[in-house]
Amino acid sequence: MDTAGILEVRQSFDDAISDVDNLNALQQLKVEYLGKKGKVTGLMKEMKNLSNEERPEYGAKVNEVRTHITEAIERRGEVLEEAALEEKLREETIDVTLPGRTFSLGSPHPLSRTIEDIEDFFLGLGYEIAEGYEVETDYYNFEALNLPKSHPARDMQDTFYISEETLLRTHTSPVQARTMEAQEGRGPVKIICPGKVYRRDSDDATHSHQFTQIEGLVVDRNIRMSDLKGTLELFAKEIFGAEREIRLRPSYFPFTEPSVEVDISCFKCKGAGCNVCKGTGWIEILGAGMVHPNVLEMAGFDPDEYSGFAFGMGPDRIAMLKYGIEDIRHFYTNDLRFINQFKATEDGGATNESI
Ligand code: 2U9
């Protein structure tokens, strides 16, 4: 009876298992030797070529090899599983002395924070927030605001025209004009309109071709200039500090009559004069006025029954004043060195809140 085959299988297995260094390879070896088509199974198939006398001894020898292989695989398996567990533990051991991985918390962009503060103030006074199209028609951006095609003031607002009648809005006033029109001459209207506006301007430290505006409008019966003044006084104190005073200077806007520029007392020098207020003690923050009767009429309101006030401001400028920022472009260039200065601090304030 030829047992060379049996010895050869045993030897090749012993050689093979010495190189096995992971559980997958061990599993493959197990299949290769003990599997249905494995070498040990192959040995058993030889049985049919033996005499009945030879079969028991041959069978015993094959089983002895099978046992040898099975046990060797189990032992190797335990060793490899132990090693795999060690490796896993090593990988997963947390060296608590290692510094924690810091992940930077996002925080509201200074411009968004300023817009939210302003919105919250007017929401507190019962205003609604109205938003509208950034791509507007010439009618709602100009004509409805008492700026007929030939009006020189149009040039004050260098405009991105898309077509003869379509443009990128130069202010959020078209939103107010559309809102008034939608109310078919029935008051009250009490809205603020925040949003992006576009001016064909070359960017510099105080001008950007795209910036943000917040305009406001109140239309009802018996709305007077004192309502406007009172509202703006409260606003100035809320956003720039309770001790702020305001000053109204006569001005001109096609869509308001009378029109005013509104200044606040300087929060830096308390009026003595400094670089922030350019020595005047006053800082201009917004424009306002009583809604022009033509604007009321074009929107379907009877100027003899209704009156209104409106105002407009640039939150970029207000944020620059509040945080002492010299260049408006910082708001739009997303430079983390700039933005990270406004990280929320534990008490929820901003790291560089100057006012
Ligand atoms: C309607 C009626 C009146 C909106 C107004 C201003 C004054 C104003 C400037 C502020 C800073 C533009 O971004 S800015 O340069 N705006 O001073 N805006 S009154 O008046 C309106 C608007 C809509 C129907």
DSSP letters of 304-329? TT-EEEEEEE-HHHHHHHHHT---TT
The response to whether residue 29 sits with its C-beta less than 6 Å from ligand 1 reads no
DSSP 344: B
Q: Dig out the tokens for 189 from the structure.
A: 């209207």
213 Cα to the center of ligand 1, angstroms: 9
∠ Cα 254 251 256 (to 5°): 35
348 Cα to the center of ligand 1, angstroms: 32
pLDDT of 190 reads 98
The residue whose CA has the least distance to atom 9 of ligand 1 is: 312
Helix, strand, coil percentages, rounded to 5, for the chain: 45, 20, 35
The response to whether residue 256 sits with its C-beta less than 6 Å from ligand 1 reads yes
Residues 278/258, Cβ–Cβ less than 8 Å:
no
Q: Dig out the tokens for 272 from the structure.
A: 């003595």
The response to whether residue 192 sits with its C-beta less than 6 Å from ligand 1 reads no
Pick the CATH number of 110-344 from 3.90.1530.10, 3.30.1360.20, 3.30.930.10, 2.60.120.260: 3.30.930.10
Structural domain boundaries in the chain: 4-91, 110-344
The response to whether residue 219 sits with its C-beta less than 6 Å from ligand 1 reads no
pLDDT of 351 reads 53
pLDDT of 349 reads 55
Residues 137/350, Cβ–Cβ less than 8 Å:
no
Q: Dig out the tokens for 341 from the structure.
A: 């200065």
Burial (0-12, 13-18, 19+ Cβ within 10 Å), 293: middle
Single-letter amino acid code for the residue at 193 = C
Name 148's Cβ contacts closer than 8 Å, sequence gap at least 6: 142
The response to whether residue 281 sits with its C-beta less than 6 Å from ligand 1 reads no
pLDDT in tens, 69-122: 999 999 999 999 999 999 888 888 888 888 888 888 888 899 999 999 999 999
Alpha-carbon distance of 214 to 311, in angstroms, equals 8
Residues 298/144, Cβ–Cβ less than 8 Å:
yes
pLDDT of 48 reads 86
Can you say whether the dihedral through the CA atoms of 179, 180, 181, 182 is positive or negative? positive
pTM of the model: 0.73
Substitution site in 179, 257, 286, 297 for ligand 1 pocket (most atoms within 8 Å of beta carbon): 286
Binding-site residues, please? 257
Q: Dig out the tokens for 178 from the structure.
A: 């559309």
Q: Dig out the tokens for 165 from the structure.
A: 């009648």
pLDDT of 353 reads 52
Q: Long-range contacts made by residues 1-10, C-beta under 8 angstroms, separation at least 24? A: 1/50, 1/54, 1/57, 1/58, 3/58, 3/61, 5/43, 5/46, 6/43, 6/58, 6/61, 6/62, 6/65, 9/33, 9/39, 9/40, 9/42, 9/43, 9/65, 10/65, 10/68, 10/69
Share of the chain above pLDDT 70, in %: 95
| Positions of the chain with pLDDT under 70 | 1-2, 155-157, 344-355
The gap between the terminal CA atoms of the chain, to the nearest Å, is: 102
From the list 62, 64, 72, the residue with the least C-alpha distance to 16 is 72
Substitution site in 311, 320, 321, 331 for ligand 1 pocket (most atoms within 8 Å of beta carbon): 311
The response to whether residue 58 sits with its C-beta less than 6 Å from ligand 1 reads no
